[in-house]
Amino acid sequence: MLIDQIKKANIEAMKAHDKDARTAYSLVISSYQNLLTSGKGNEVSDADVVKIITKFSKELDEEGNTYLQANRKEEYEAILRQKEAIVKFLPKMLNEEEIKEIISKLDDKSIPSVMKHFKMNYNGKCDMGLVNKVLKGL
């Protein structure tokens, strides 16, 4: 499972004294543990872990932008290292061209049906915000 790979990476980061990677991995593992205890039980899948990582990655982007605007380069670089540590566990995301190609093959190009199609078939493999942006641009 993906979480096992992250736990191993966390141990390696501890051994290497990589504070930024350890912080990122620990937060992902903590969110995973919260999912386990929140009633999902043993039903937490790799897709759930991907959602955790994606959410955490977006939070890091926002935090990094805040540090950049405040001209705090050291903190910004730490955030970049944290993000770099976790995004390698995400599956390859669809780019704009691939999204356009998929949309062009659909019969119904209305926003709700396209969003539903991507959520059902490409969940975790594409940024839904990007899908919406591409769809509105067509």
CATH code: domain of residue 69 = 1.10.1510
Does residue 81 have a pLDDT over 90? Answer: yes
Q: Give me the mean pLDDT over the 68-95 stretch.
A: 92
Q: Is 63 helix (H, G, I), strand (E, B) or coil?
A: helix
Q: Give me the mean pLDDT over the 36-55 stretch.
A: 82
pLDDT at 24: 95
Q: Give me the mean pLDDT over the 35-52 stretch.
A: 81
Instruction: At 48, list the tokens.
Output: 């759930």
Instruction: At 105, list the tokens.
Output: 């093959």
Residue 76 — very low, low, confident or very high, per pLDDT cuts 50/70/90? very high
Does 82 share its domain with 110? no
Tally of domains in the chain:
2
pLDDT at 92: 86
Closest C-alpha to 57, from 110, 132, 129: 129
Mean pLDDT of the chain: 90
Does residue 6 have a pLDDT over 70? Answer: yes
Does 16 share its domain with 67? yes
Does 118 share its domain with 81? no
pLDDT at 72: 94
pLDDT at 41: 62
